[in-house]
Amino acid sequence: MSEAVSISASRSGLIIREKEPANLEFPFASLTPVTPTNEFFVRTHFPIPAISAKDWTLTVDGEVEQELVLTYDDLLRLPSVTAPVLLECAGNGRAQLVPKAKGLLWDTGAVGTAEWTGVPLSAVLEKAGVKKGAVDVILQGADKGEVDDPKSPGVVHFERSLPLAKAMRPEVFLAYKMNGKDLTPDHGFPVRAIVGGWYGMASVKWLTHVTVTAAPFEGFWQSLEYAYWKRERERPTLTAVTEVQVKAQIARPALSEAVPGGKPYRVFGAAWSGESDVVRVEVSTDGKTWSEATLLGESVPFAWRLWAFQWNVPEATGQYRVMARATDTKGHTQPVKHDSDRRTYMINFAFAVEVEVV
Protein backbone atom coordinates (compact mmCIF):
# COMPACT_ATOMS: atom_id res chain seq x y z
CA MET A 1 0.00 0.00 0.00
CA SER A 2 1.31 3.48 -0.84
CA GLU A 3 0.04 7.00 -0.10
CA ALA A 4 -3.64 7.91 -0.34
CA VAL A 5 -5.30 8.54 -3.68
CA SER A 6 -7.03 11.84 -4.30
CA ILE A 7 -10.19 12.47 -6.28
CA SER A 8 -9.75 13.49 -9.88
CA ALA A 9 -11.53 16.07 -12.01
CA SER A 10 -13.70 13.27 -13.46
CA ARG A 11 -15.87 13.76 -10.39
CA SER A 12 -17.16 17.10 -11.68
CA GLY A 13 -20.71 15.70 -12.08
CA LEU A 14 -21.00 15.10 -8.35
CA ILE A 15 -21.89 17.43 -5.48
CA ILE A 16 -19.09 17.79 -2.93
CA ARG A 17 -20.33 17.23 0.63
CA GLU A 18 -16.80 16.90 1.99
CA LYS A 19 -13.49 17.22 0.20
CA GLU A 20 -11.20 15.16 2.40
CA PRO A 21 -12.05 12.41 2.95
CA ALA A 22 -14.08 12.39 -0.27
CA ASN A 23 -17.84 12.44 0.19
CA LEU A 24 -19.63 13.13 -3.05
CA GLU A 25 -23.31 13.09 -3.89
CA PHE A 26 -25.09 12.10 -7.09
CA PRO A 27 -27.44 14.82 -8.43
CA PHE A 28 -30.60 12.74 -8.30
CA ALA A 29 -32.29 14.74 -11.10
CA SER A 30 -29.84 12.95 -13.48
CA LEU A 31 -31.46 9.58 -12.66
CA THR A 32 -30.95 6.79 -15.25
CA PRO A 33 -31.68 3.01 -14.88
CA VAL A 34 -28.01 2.29 -14.14
CA THR A 35 -25.88 4.97 -12.51
CA PRO A 36 -22.65 5.65 -14.45
CA THR A 37 -19.56 5.04 -12.33
CA ASN A 38 -18.38 8.67 -12.50
CA GLU A 39 -21.78 9.83 -11.18
CA PHE A 40 -22.10 7.21 -8.43
CA PHE A 41 -22.01 8.73 -4.93
CA VAL A 42 -18.83 8.26 -2.90
CA ARG A 43 -18.89 7.69 0.87
CA THR A 44 -15.57 7.41 2.68
CA HIS A 45 -14.61 7.78 6.33
CA PHE A 46 -10.84 7.81 5.89
CA PRO A 47 -8.40 8.65 3.09
CA ILE A 48 -8.74 6.27 0.15
CA PRO A 49 -6.03 3.58 0.40
CA ALA A 50 -3.98 2.98 -2.73
CA ILE A 51 -3.78 -0.77 -3.29
CA SER A 52 -2.35 -2.49 -6.33
CA ALA A 53 -4.12 -5.62 -7.60
CA LYS A 54 -0.75 -7.39 -7.65
CA ASP A 55 -0.11 -6.80 -3.93
CA TRP A 56 -3.69 -7.31 -2.77
CA THR A 57 -4.69 -10.42 -0.88
CA LEU A 58 -7.85 -11.49 0.87
CA THR A 59 -7.40 -13.41 4.10
CA VAL A 60 -10.25 -15.66 5.20
CA ASP A 61 -9.78 -16.76 8.80
CA GLY A 62 -11.43 -17.31 12.18
CA GLU A 63 -13.90 -20.18 12.57
CA VAL A 64 -12.92 -21.97 9.36
CA GLU A 65 -11.45 -25.42 8.66
CA GLN A 66 -8.88 -24.03 6.24
CA GLU A 67 -7.51 -20.50 6.43
CA LEU A 68 -7.27 -18.96 2.94
CA VAL A 69 -5.13 -16.24 1.43
CA LEU A 70 -6.49 -15.42 -2.00
CA THR A 71 -4.74 -13.28 -4.59
CA TYR A 72 -6.57 -11.10 -7.10
CA ASP A 73 -5.96 -13.75 -9.79
CA ASP A 74 -7.27 -16.51 -7.49
CA LEU A 75 -10.48 -14.51 -7.05
CA LEU A 76 -10.87 -13.82 -10.76
CA ARG A 77 -10.57 -17.55 -11.47
CA LEU A 78 -13.69 -18.35 -9.38
CA PRO A 79 -17.13 -18.39 -11.05
CA SER A 80 -18.54 -14.87 -11.10
CA VAL A 81 -21.97 -13.26 -11.10
CA THR A 82 -23.03 -9.92 -12.56
CA ALA A 83 -26.10 -8.11 -11.23
CA PRO A 84 -27.48 -4.61 -10.77
CA VAL A 85 -27.52 -3.82 -7.05
CA LEU A 86 -28.60 -0.64 -5.31
CA LEU A 87 -26.44 0.98 -2.66
CA GLU A 88 -27.99 3.59 -0.43
CA CYS A 89 -26.13 5.30 2.39
CA ALA A 90 -28.02 4.94 5.69
CA GLY A 91 -27.76 8.73 5.99
CA ASN A 92 -29.29 9.48 2.59
CA GLY A 93 -31.96 12.18 3.02
CA ARG A 94 -30.39 13.60 6.19
CA ALA A 95 -30.70 17.15 4.80
CA GLN A 96 -34.50 16.73 5.14
CA LEU A 97 -34.34 16.30 8.92
CA VAL A 98 -35.57 19.13 11.14
CA PRO A 99 -33.88 20.28 13.32
CA LYS A 100 -30.66 20.18 11.31
CA ALA A 101 -28.81 16.91 11.94
CA LYS A 102 -25.13 16.37 12.67
CA GLY A 103 -23.09 14.51 10.06
CA LEU A 104 -22.89 14.75 6.30
CA LEU A 105 -25.99 16.49 5.00
CA TRP A 106 -26.87 14.19 2.13
CA ASP A 107 -29.88 15.33 0.16
CA THR A 108 -31.37 12.60 -2.08
CA GLY A 109 -28.26 11.51 -3.99
CA ALA A 110 -26.43 9.16 -1.60
CA VAL A 111 -27.96 6.30 -3.58
CA GLY A 112 -27.25 4.57 -6.88
CA THR A 113 -27.68 1.34 -8.78
CA ALA A 114 -24.64 -0.07 -10.58
CA GLU A 115 -23.97 -3.37 -12.25
CA TRP A 116 -21.47 -5.27 -10.12
CA THR A 117 -19.42 -8.33 -11.04
CA GLY A 118 -17.86 -10.57 -8.45
CA VAL A 119 -17.68 -13.87 -6.62
CA PRO A 120 -20.42 -14.88 -4.17
CA LEU A 121 -19.05 -14.67 -0.62
CA SER A 122 -20.66 -18.08 -0.02
CA ALA A 123 -18.29 -19.67 -2.55
CA VAL A 124 -15.25 -18.37 -0.66
CA LEU A 125 -16.70 -19.35 2.72
CA GLU A 126 -17.49 -22.84 1.42
CA LYS A 127 -13.92 -23.15 0.15
CA ALA A 128 -12.64 -22.28 3.63
CA GLY A 129 -15.21 -24.50 5.37
CA VAL A 130 -17.19 -22.67 8.03
CA LYS A 131 -17.05 -24.45 11.41
CA LYS A 132 -20.18 -25.42 13.32
CA GLY A 133 -21.32 -22.75 15.75
CA ALA A 134 -20.08 -19.82 13.64
CA VAL A 135 -22.41 -16.81 13.89
CA ASP A 136 -20.94 -13.72 12.23
CA VAL A 137 -18.71 -12.88 9.28
CA ILE A 138 -16.64 -9.71 9.65
CA LEU A 139 -15.72 -7.80 6.49
CA GLN A 140 -12.70 -5.56 7.02
CA GLY A 141 -11.38 -2.83 4.76
CA ALA A 142 -7.78 -1.64 4.39
CA ASP A 143 -8.66 1.95 5.36
CA LYS A 144 -8.33 3.04 8.97
CA GLY A 145 -8.18 5.98 11.32
CA GLU A 146 -9.41 7.47 14.55
CA VAL A 147 -12.94 8.82 14.97
CA ASP A 148 -13.73 11.61 17.44
CA ASP A 149 -17.49 11.66 17.65
CA PRO A 150 -18.59 9.12 18.64
CA LYS A 151 -15.15 8.17 19.97
CA SER A 152 -13.59 5.09 18.44
CA PRO A 153 -11.36 2.79 20.51
CA GLY A 154 -8.18 4.34 19.04
CA VAL A 155 -7.33 3.63 15.42
CA VAL A 156 -9.93 1.39 13.79
CA HIS A 157 -10.28 -0.17 10.37
CA PHE A 158 -13.57 0.30 8.57
CA GLU A 159 -15.30 -3.04 9.17
CA ARG A 160 -18.71 -4.52 9.53
CA SER A 161 -20.18 -7.97 10.23
CA LEU A 162 -23.03 -9.90 8.67
CA PRO A 163 -24.85 -12.78 10.36
CA LEU A 164 -23.67 -16.03 8.70
CA ALA A 165 -27.11 -16.56 7.12
CA LYS A 166 -26.92 -13.21 5.29
CA ALA A 167 -23.27 -13.77 4.33
CA MET A 168 -24.28 -16.99 2.57
CA ARG A 169 -27.02 -15.38 0.49
CA PRO A 170 -26.51 -14.92 -3.27
CA GLU A 171 -26.92 -11.11 -3.11
CA VAL A 172 -23.70 -10.90 -1.11
CA PHE A 173 -20.58 -10.98 -3.22
CA LEU A 174 -16.98 -9.86 -3.53
CA ALA A 175 -17.08 -7.41 -6.42
CA TYR A 176 -14.14 -6.50 -8.63
CA LYS A 177 -16.02 -4.81 -11.47
CA MET A 178 -18.50 -1.94 -11.52
CA ASN A 179 -20.45 -1.29 -14.72
CA GLY A 180 -18.18 -3.66 -16.63
CA LYS A 181 -14.84 -2.06 -15.65
CA ASP A 182 -12.37 -2.61 -12.81
CA LEU A 183 -13.47 -0.83 -9.64
CA THR A 184 -12.19 2.74 -9.35
CA PRO A 185 -10.08 3.61 -6.28
CA ASP A 186 -12.94 5.55 -4.64
CA HIS A 187 -15.38 2.64 -5.02
CA GLY A 188 -13.06 0.10 -3.44
CA PHE A 189 -10.38 -1.05 -5.88
CA PRO A 190 -9.37 -3.82 -6.18
CA VAL A 191 -12.17 -5.68 -4.35
CA ARG A 192 -15.18 -4.66 -2.27
CA ALA A 193 -18.15 -6.40 -0.72
CA ILE A 194 -21.60 -5.85 -2.17
CA VAL A 195 -24.37 -6.63 0.30
CA GLY A 196 -27.67 -6.41 -1.59
CA GLY A 197 -30.66 -5.25 0.45
CA TRP A 198 -28.63 -3.63 3.23
CA TYR A 199 -27.57 -0.03 3.63
CA GLY A 200 -24.22 0.90 2.10
CA MET A 201 -22.12 0.62 5.26
CA ALA A 202 -22.15 -3.18 4.95
CA SER A 203 -20.66 -3.09 1.44
CA VAL A 204 -17.09 -2.78 2.72
CA LYS A 205 -14.64 -1.34 0.19
CA TRP A 206 -10.91 -2.17 -0.12
CA LEU A 207 -11.76 -5.53 1.43
CA THR A 208 -8.74 -7.41 2.78
CA HIS A 209 -10.05 -9.64 5.59
CA VAL A 210 -13.05 -11.90 6.07
CA THR A 211 -13.19 -13.29 9.59
CA VAL A 212 -15.75 -15.83 10.78
CA THR A 213 -16.57 -15.53 14.50
CA ALA A 214 -18.13 -17.79 17.12
CA ALA A 215 -19.65 -14.83 19.02
CA PRO A 216 -21.65 -11.84 17.78
CA PHE A 217 -19.32 -9.07 16.61
CA GLU A 218 -19.79 -5.67 18.21
CA GLY A 219 -17.40 -3.42 16.30
CA PHE A 220 -17.47 0.38 16.43
CA TRP A 221 -19.15 0.65 13.01
CA GLN A 222 -22.23 -1.26 14.10
CA SER A 223 -22.55 -0.62 17.82
CA LEU A 224 -21.94 3.16 17.94
CA GLU A 225 -21.94 4.34 14.35
CA TYR A 226 -24.62 3.00 11.99
CA ALA A 227 -26.72 1.93 14.96
CA TYR A 228 -30.26 2.91 15.96
CA TRP A 229 -32.43 2.57 19.05
CA LYS A 230 -34.48 -0.60 18.90
CA ARG A 231 -37.13 -0.86 21.63
CA GLU A 232 -38.16 -4.18 23.07
CA ARG A 233 -40.39 -4.12 26.14
CA GLU A 234 -39.58 -0.44 26.81
CA ARG A 235 -35.85 -0.96 26.83
CA PRO A 236 -34.00 0.75 23.97
CA THR A 237 -30.84 -0.96 22.72
CA LEU A 238 -28.41 0.40 20.16
CA THR A 239 -28.78 -2.04 17.28
CA ALA A 240 -26.85 -2.29 14.02
CA VAL A 241 -28.48 -0.71 10.97
CA THR A 242 -29.12 -3.42 8.38
CA GLU A 243 -31.96 -3.60 5.83
CA VAL A 244 -32.79 -0.75 3.45
CA GLN A 245 -36.25 0.73 4.14
CA VAL A 246 -38.85 1.15 1.40
CA LYS A 247 -38.56 4.50 -0.40
CA ALA A 248 -39.59 6.41 -3.52
CA GLN A 249 -37.63 9.46 -4.64
CA ILE A 250 -38.55 12.08 -7.21
CA ALA A 251 -35.93 12.96 -9.85
CA ARG A 252 -38.16 15.32 -11.85
CA PRO A 253 -39.46 17.86 -11.15
CA ALA A 254 -36.40 19.03 -9.26
CA LEU A 255 -36.67 21.34 -6.26
CA SER A 256 -37.92 24.79 -7.32
CA GLU A 257 -38.29 23.70 -10.95
CA ALA A 258 -40.56 25.97 -13.01
CA VAL A 259 -43.37 23.74 -14.28
CA PRO A 260 -45.57 25.09 -17.13
CA GLY A 261 -49.25 25.35 -16.09
CA GLY A 262 -52.13 23.80 -18.04
CA LYS A 263 -50.05 21.00 -19.58
CA PRO A 264 -49.20 17.41 -18.70
CA TYR A 265 -45.85 16.95 -16.92
CA ARG A 266 -44.05 13.63 -16.50
CA VAL A 267 -43.14 13.17 -12.83
CA PHE A 268 -40.28 10.65 -12.78
CA GLY A 269 -38.28 8.84 -10.12
CA ALA A 270 -37.04 5.60 -8.61
CA ALA A 271 -38.27 3.40 -5.79
CA TRP A 272 -36.66 0.57 -3.86
CA SER A 273 -36.82 -1.60 -0.77
CA GLY A 274 -34.13 -3.76 0.87
CA GLU A 275 -34.97 -7.45 0.98
CA SER A 276 -38.34 -6.89 -0.65
CA ASP A 277 -39.73 -5.59 -3.98
CA VAL A 278 -41.66 -2.42 -4.65
CA VAL A 279 -45.28 -3.16 -5.56
CA ARG A 280 -46.71 0.36 -5.68
CA VAL A 281 -45.67 3.98 -6.01
CA GLU A 282 -48.19 6.76 -5.42
CA VAL A 283 -47.87 10.45 -6.17
CA SER A 284 -49.63 13.41 -4.59
CA THR A 285 -49.63 16.92 -6.03
CA ASP A 286 -52.30 18.48 -3.80
CA GLY A 287 -51.20 17.42 -0.32
CA LYS A 288 -54.39 15.35 0.10
CA THR A 289 -54.99 12.70 -2.54
CA TRP A 290 -52.69 10.00 -3.90
CA SER A 291 -52.71 8.51 -7.42
CA GLU A 292 -50.89 5.44 -8.61
CA ALA A 293 -47.74 5.92 -10.70
CA THR A 294 -46.64 3.48 -13.43
CA LEU A 295 -43.80 1.14 -12.53
CA LEU A 296 -41.40 0.97 -15.48
CA GLY A 297 -39.52 -2.10 -16.73
CA GLU A 298 -39.26 -5.29 -14.72
CA SER A 299 -38.76 -5.78 -11.01
CA VAL A 300 -35.14 -6.78 -10.35
CA PRO A 301 -34.36 -7.92 -6.79
CA PHE A 302 -31.96 -5.58 -4.93
CA ALA A 303 -32.02 -2.92 -7.67
CA TRP A 304 -34.25 0.13 -7.87
CA ARG A 305 -37.35 0.37 -10.04
CA LEU A 306 -38.02 3.48 -12.10
CA TRP A 307 -41.53 4.91 -12.17
CA ALA A 308 -43.41 7.74 -13.88
CA PHE A 309 -46.65 9.61 -13.39
CA GLN A 310 -48.50 11.99 -15.67
CA TRP A 311 -49.39 15.14 -13.75
CA ASN A 312 -52.05 17.23 -15.42
CA VAL A 313 -50.71 20.51 -14.16
CA PRO A 314 -53.44 23.04 -13.28
CA GLU A 315 -53.60 26.45 -14.97
CA ALA A 316 -53.35 28.24 -11.64
CA THR A 317 -49.80 29.46 -11.06
CA GLY A 318 -48.07 29.29 -7.69
CA GLN A 319 -46.30 26.82 -5.40
CA TYR A 320 -47.16 23.13 -5.52
CA ARG A 321 -45.90 20.27 -3.39
CA VAL A 322 -45.17 17.01 -5.21
CA MET A 323 -44.79 13.89 -3.08
CA ALA A 324 -44.16 10.21 -3.79
CA ARG A 325 -44.44 7.17 -1.56
CA ALA A 326 -43.73 3.48 -2.16
CA THR A 327 -45.11 0.23 -0.77
CA ASP A 328 -43.24 -3.10 -0.87
CA THR A 329 -44.21 -6.79 -1.02
CA LYS A 330 -44.03 -7.01 2.77
CA GLY A 331 -46.76 -4.34 2.95
CA HIS A 332 -44.46 -1.62 4.29
CA THR A 333 -45.27 1.93 3.21
CA GLN A 334 -43.21 5.03 3.88
CA PRO A 335 -44.04 6.87 7.10
CA VAL A 336 -45.07 10.54 7.19
CA LYS A 337 -42.50 11.44 9.82
CA HIS A 338 -38.94 10.42 10.74
CA ASP A 339 -38.76 8.17 13.81
CA SER A 340 -36.14 9.75 16.11
CA ASP A 341 -35.17 6.26 17.40
CA ARG A 342 -33.52 5.85 14.03
CA ARG A 343 -31.20 8.76 14.93
CA THR A 344 -29.98 10.14 11.59
CA TYR A 345 -30.16 6.87 9.67
CA MET A 346 -32.82 4.94 7.72
CA ILE A 347 -34.53 8.15 6.63
CA ASN A 348 -37.52 7.15 4.49
CA PHE A 349 -40.40 9.42 5.46
CA ALA A 350 -42.25 10.88 2.46
CA PHE A 351 -41.39 14.54 1.98
CA ALA A 352 -42.50 17.13 -0.57
CA VAL A 353 -40.61 18.61 -3.51
CA GLU A 354 -41.75 22.22 -3.86
CA VAL A 355 -42.13 23.46 -7.41
CA GLU A 356 -43.36 26.62 -9.06
CA VAL A 357 -46.19 26.36 -11.59
CA VAL A 358 -45.68 29.19 -14.06
Ligand X SMILES: Nc1nc2c(c(=O)[nH]1)N[C@H]1C(S)=C(S)[C@@H](COP(=O)(O)O)O[C@H]1N2
> Given the complex with ligand X, which of 44 and 285 has the nearer CB atom?
44
Write down the least CB distance from residue 293 to ligand X, Å. Answer: 27
Say if strands 57-62 and 68-71 run parallel, antiparallel, or are unpaired. antiparallel
158 binds ligand X (CB under 6 A): yes
By CB under 5 A, what part of segment 187-206 binds Mo ion? 200-201
The secondary structure of the chain in percent helix, strand, coil, rounded to multiples of 5, reads: 10, 45, 45
Which residues, 6+ apart, have CB-to-CB distance to 126 below 8 Å? none
- Select the residue interacting with ligand X from 64, 89, 278, 306 (CB under 6 A): 89
Give the range of 195-203, 284-292, 293-301, 303-311 binding ligand X by CB under 6 A.
195-203
> Given the complex with ligand X, which of 205 and 252 has the nearer CB atom?
205
Write down the least CB distance from residue 266 to ligand X, Å. Answer: 28
Q: How far is C-alpha 184 from the geometric centre of its chain's CA atoms?
A: 17
| Contact by Cβ (8 Å): 148, 77 | no
346 sits in which H/E element = none
For 283-312, give the DSSP string. Answer: EESSSS--EEPEEPS---TTS-EEEEEEEE
43 binds ligand X (CB under 6 A): yes
Write down the least CB distance from residue 105 to ligand X, Å. Answer: 15
> Given the complex with Mo ion, which of 56 and 272 has the nearer CB atom?
272
Give the range of 53-61, 201-209, 231-239, 285-293 binding ligand X by CB under 6 A.
201-209
Write down the least CB distance from residue 58 to ligand X, Å. Answer: 13
Write down the least CB distance from residue 200 to ligand X, Å. Answer: 2
Helices then strands (H, E): number in the chain?
4, 26
Residue closest to Mo ion, measured at CB: 89
144 binds ligand X (CB under 6 A): no
84 binds ligand X (CB under 6 A): no
By CB under 6 A, what part of segment 250-289 binds ligand X? none
Environment class of 239 (CB within 10 Å of its CB; exposed 0-12, middle 13-18, buried 19+): middle
* Alpha helices by DSSP H, 189-315: 220-223
- How many residues make contact with ligand X (CB under 6 A)? 18
| Contact by Cβ (8 Å): 62, 130 | no
For residue 247, the partner it binds in ligand X, Mo ion, none, with Cβ less than 5 to 8 A by kind, is: none
* CA-wise closest residue to 15 among 28, 4, 25, 2: 25
By CB under 6 A, what part of segment 109-128 binds ligand X? none
Taking the alpha carbons of 219, 225, 229, 230 in that order, is the dihedral positive or negative? negative
> Given the complex with ligand X, which of 118 and 253 has the nearer CB atom?
118
For residue 204, give Cα distances in angstroms to 168, 191, 192. 16, 9, 6
> CA–CA separation, 226 vs 203, rounded Å?
13
- Select the residue interacting with ligand X from 62, 196, 200, 253 (CB under 6 A): 200
89 binds Mo ion (CB under 5 A): yes
3-state secondary structure of 189: coil
43 binds Mo ion (CB under 5 A): yes
Write down the least CB distance from residue 40 to Mo ion, Å. Answer: 13
> Given the complex with ligand X, which of 205 and 247 has the nearer CB atom?
205
Residues that bind ligand X (CB under 6 A): 40-45, 87, 89, 141, 143, 158, 187, 200-201, 203-206
